[in-house]
Structure 1
Amino acid sequence: MKLLILIMTSHPEFGERTPGSVVARVFEDSIRGRTILITGVSPKSIGAATALNLASQHPALLILASRTRHRVQEIADKIQQDHPGTRVEIVQLNLSSQKSVRQAAADVAALTDKLDILINNAGLFVTSRQATAEGIEMQFGTNHIGPFLFTNLLLPLLRKAAYNTSPGATRIVTLSSAGHRLSPIRFSDYNFTGKPVPPEEEHVKPLQGAFGRCTSDGYNGIVAYAQSKTANILFTRYLQQHLPKYGIAAYALHPGTIQTDLSRDQDPELETAFYKVAPYWKTPDEGSSTTLVAALDPALNEIKGLYLYDCQFREPFSHASDPVAAERLWKLSEELVGETFALDF
């Protein structure tokens, strides 16, 4: 199934090689005076480029959330050096621990009573079987369950921001990946324990070469990553069904292929395989552009789109936009965090 472009955003000339710095300048009015939170900010990352580009256009408050304080502090220091008038705050956030997520949400609420834009940028990719503090498969737990919980805990701040601004200007932006096409949600075995799954939950086969390689215990990191990225889009699909009446918009996106610390767990064979399927690797600045379009472009308020790719809307694979699967995932996610979140408040 081919990904098709549905409709252009306000700048059809934006694409694969558009720098995020350009996008930030074009949409400066959507940044100035606003409170924005970005997760996964560390040196040489998409999150860092996103933060630096946003800081250039005078937000009221920029909150940088990351697992390692000294790494995110490096970006905060650079922002204050380059843009001394920008208020920057740091929140420690480990998405692999629900306890950490809950503490981080409380820390954010202590810094501000409203949140205009939440950018769920953080994510990881691993090739060996690992688990979160709660025993959930690491990629599903970190890339989806962590942001699911964090977003829901911050919804009161987003609702307050939305109450005082135009509909759709308050946004939740979640980074997914084109890799979502490789796997739907394995509801029968989301932890990859080896249980049989029905055909509709199986990943795309065959996966060639390094992409199809499993560890000795049967774990395939590529498939687990793909499941988590499908979850990001289904999560956004559910938010889109329930939040517009409160003036809150939600979008998912593929930032492109970028050489960042996300790939640090790759061995040379897997890295070579990625270079073969992705001939153009973006700079972090270029990698931030689609995030910034999703977060800032006012025209998106008039466009019905779910998933952006190279700064324009595209259609995700059907297993990532199915409303039935989105609701099923929401309920599973609530079970895994031990809390119910009713969006029809």
Structure 2
Amino acid sequence: MTSHPEFNERTTGTEVASVFADQIRGKTILITGISPKGIGASTALAFASQSPALLILASRTKSKLEAVAEQIRTKFPSCHTNTRIELVSLDLSSQSSIRQAVTDITRLLIGGNKLDILINNAAINTTTRQTTPDDGLGLELTFGTNHIGTFLFTNLLLRNNLLSPPPPPPARIITVSSAGHRLSPMRFSDYNFSHPEKEVPAEEDYLKPLPGAFAKCTEDGYNGMVTYGQSKTANILFTLYLQKRLKGRRRGVGAYSLHPGTIETELGRDQDPEVKQEFHKIEAYWKSLDEGCATTMVAALDPALDETKGLYLVDCQISDPHPHAQDEVAAERLWKLSEEIVGEKFTLEDF
């Protein structure tokens, strides 16, 4: 149970930050996926409201990073003196960009500074088949960005010893997932969806029938909602593996995942009108950007989570993901597959 059962879908991230101000003040926080019209920006603004020592904003587009940094400085003039804001270029679809970003972040943390909170917020949702640009593997872009990119980025930060050790409160790794994870388990036998109509084991098959416009595919059989669903399941399984290996260990690192809610952001900018209409059919309440970051803030800040077995949060409270996202065997299998894809082994017991 969280420490504030009164928090709900209409709670704002700014409200959560105010309640947990002592968990933010003076801390070092890294947020990926920063865009002026996304929940990465609202998350950054919520944290900035309570004077963290260092706020590192990471994204693919320099102009978007600069725009959000200016939003923060305009809304919270005290950030000019109380909070250091640093901007880092990060494209999670590119393994070379990820490695360079970790090098840049390591330089920013010289002098023994560590990350207290890592928010893995960045994600994409494509409508056509695309592949990652520079790894030579031809990874399906959504899986390659939303999971593999996040997997590599997080593990390199851990390997470089950049997350804060005890004493409490322990560092936290927060990975933003989605209720869309229910659309598809991990499709281990064809995670690139190279053969959409291929017969796969029942436990790997996506939800059938898909509701309404969610069933729309391109001519080559690609379905962006299904591939997005798989990537969001991967986010939760990744978090589950981190929990089992890190929580309670000497480093004291906590890991949680969440569904932020249904929010109008740039994530859905490429969706056609029929898919957008389908979302309006199934979701009555659409959150503001500030409401959309509230569950992220609870996951990152609520001390009560350290005493629970919670893995996944919805509307600021602990919830249960779909059973296919709670499977420890699948979580370990995904970890090994991810290591194979990035070409490196990551043994969390060493961190």
The structure-2 alpha-carbon separation of the partners of 1:160 and 1:218, relative to structure 1 and needing over 3 Å to count, comes to closer
Contact 1:114 1:157 in 2 (8 A): no
The structure-2 alpha-carbon separation of the partners of 1:132 and 1:89, relative to structure 1 and needing over 3 Å to count, comes to same
1:104 maps to a residue whose letter is: A
Residue 84 of structure 1 deviates from its aligned partner by: 2.1
**Following the alignment from structure 2 to structure 1, what is the Cα–Cα distance between the partners of residues 194 and 37?**
34
1:203 is aligned to 2:206: yes
- Pick aligned residue for 1:96 from 71, 93, 97: 93
Equivalent residue number for residue 4 of structure 1: none
**Following the alignment from structure 1 to structure 2, what is the Cα–Cα distance between the partners of residues 216 and 30?**
50
2:206 maps to a residue whose letter is: H
**Following the alignment from structure 2 to structure 1, what is the Cα–Cα distance between the partners of residues 262 and 161?**
30
- Pick aligned residue for 2:62 from 60, 69, 81: 69
Q: Deviations over 1:94-150 (max 9, x none)?
A: 001011011101110010141111000010111111111231101101100001000
1:280 is aligned to 2:281: no
Contact 1:148 1:235 in 2 (8 A): yes
**Following the alignment from structure 1 to structure 2, what is the Cα–Cα distance between the partners of residues 157 and 27?**
28
**Following the alignment from structure 1 to structure 2, what is the Cα–Cα distance between the partners of residues 307 and 93?**
26
**Following the alignment from structure 1 to structure 2, what is the Cα–Cα distance between the partners of residues 226 and 296?**
27
Equivalent residue number for residue 222 of structure 1: 225
Equivalent residue number for residue 16 of structure 2: 23
**Following the alignment from structure 1 to structure 2, what is the Cα–Cα distance between the partners of residues 77 and 212?**
40
Q: Deviations over 1:20-65 (max 9, x none)?
A: 1000000001001110000001102100000011011010100000
**Following the alignment from structure 2 to structure 1, what is the Cα–Cα distance between the partners of residues 29 and 18?**
16
1:48 is aligned to 2:41: yes
**Following the alignment from structure 1 to structure 2, what is the Cα–Cα distance between the partners of residues 76 and 232?**
27
1:289 is aligned to 2:285: no
1:331 is aligned to 2:336: yes
Equivalenced residue count is 336
Equivalent residue number for residue 107 of structure 2: 110
- Pick aligned residue for 1:319 from 320, 324, 335: 324
Secondary structure, in 3 states, of the residue corresponding to 1:173?
strand
**Following the alignment from structure 1 to structure 2, what is the Cα–Cα distance between the partners of residues 196 and 139?**
21
CA RMSD of aligned residues (A): 1.1
**Following the alignment from structure 1 to structure 2, what is the Cα–Cα distance between the partners of residues 247 and 66?**
27
Equivalent residue number for residue 130 of structure 1: 130
Equivalent residue number for residue 172 of structure 2: 171
Q: Deviations over 1:294-325 (max 9, x none)?
A: 00011111111000000000011111010000
**Following the alignment from structure 2 to structure 1, what is the Cα–Cα distance between the partners of residues 163 and 64?**
31
**Following the alignment from structure 1 to structure 2, what is the Cα–Cα distance between the partners of residues 257 and 80?**
28
Contact 1:175 1:232 in 2 (8 A): yes
**Following the alignment from structure 2 to structure 1, what is the Cα–Cα distance between the partners of residues 297 and 228?**
23
Residue 89 of structure 1 deviates from its aligned partner by: 0.1
**Following the alignment from structure 1 to structure 2, what is the Cα–Cα distance between the partners of residues 26 and 158?**
30
1:124 maps to a residue whose letter is: I
1:236 is aligned to 2:233: no
Residue 236 of structure 1 deviates from its aligned partner by: 0.2
Listed as ranges, the gaps of 5+ residues in structure 1 are 1-7
**Following the alignment from structure 1 to structure 2, what is the Cα–Cα distance between the partners of residues 208 and 56?**
40
Listed as ranges, the gaps of 5+ residues in structure 2 are none
TM-score (norm 1): 0.95
Equivalent residue number for residue 3 of structure 1: none
Residue 208 of structure 1 deviates from its aligned partner by: 2.7
Equivalent residue number for residue 80 of structure 2: 84
Contact 1:115 1:158 in 2 (8 A): no
The structure-2 alpha-carbon separation of the partners of 1:229 and 1:160, relative to structure 1 and needing over 3 Å to count, comes to closer
**Following the alignment from structure 1 to structure 2, what is the Cα–Cα distance between the partners of residues 311 and 103?**
34
**Following the alignment from structure 2 to structure 1, what is the Cα–Cα distance between the partners of residues 145 and 335?**
15
2:35 maps to a residue whose letter is: S
Contact 1:80 1:88 in 2 (8 A): no
Q: Deviations over 1:6-26 (max 9, x none)?
A: xx3100000101011000000
**Following the alignment from structure 1 to structure 2, what is the Cα–Cα distance between the partners of residues 29 and 209?**
46
Residue 184 of structure 1 deviates from its aligned partner by: 0.4
Contact 1:62 1:87 in 2 (8 A): yes
Equivalent residue number for residue 183 of structure 2: 182
Contact 1:185 1:230 in 2 (8 A): yes
Equivalent residue number for residue 5 of structure 2: 12
Moved more, 219-228 or 81-90: 81-90
Residue 279 of structure 1 deviates from its aligned partner by: 1.3
Q: Structure 1 vs Structure 2: percent identity of aligned residues?
A: 63
**Following the alignment from structure 1 to structure 2, what is the Cα–Cα distance between the partners of residues 95 and 105?**
11
**Following the alignment from structure 1 to structure 2, what is the Cα–Cα distance between the partners of residues 160 and 76?**
23
**Following the alignment from structure 1 to structure 2, what is the Cα–Cα distance between the partners of residues 78 and 210?**
36
**Following the alignment from structure 1 to structure 2, what is the Cα–Cα distance between the partners of residues 160 and 294?**
17
1:180 maps to a residue whose letter is: H
Secondary structure, in 3 states, of the residue corresponding to 1:340?
coil
Secondary structure, in 3 states, of the residue corresponding to 1:251?
strand
**Following the alignment from structure 1 to structure 2, what is the Cα–Cα distance between the partners of residues 158 and 254?**
28
Secondary structure, in 3 states, of the residue corresponding to 1:25?
helix
TM-score (norm 2): 0.94
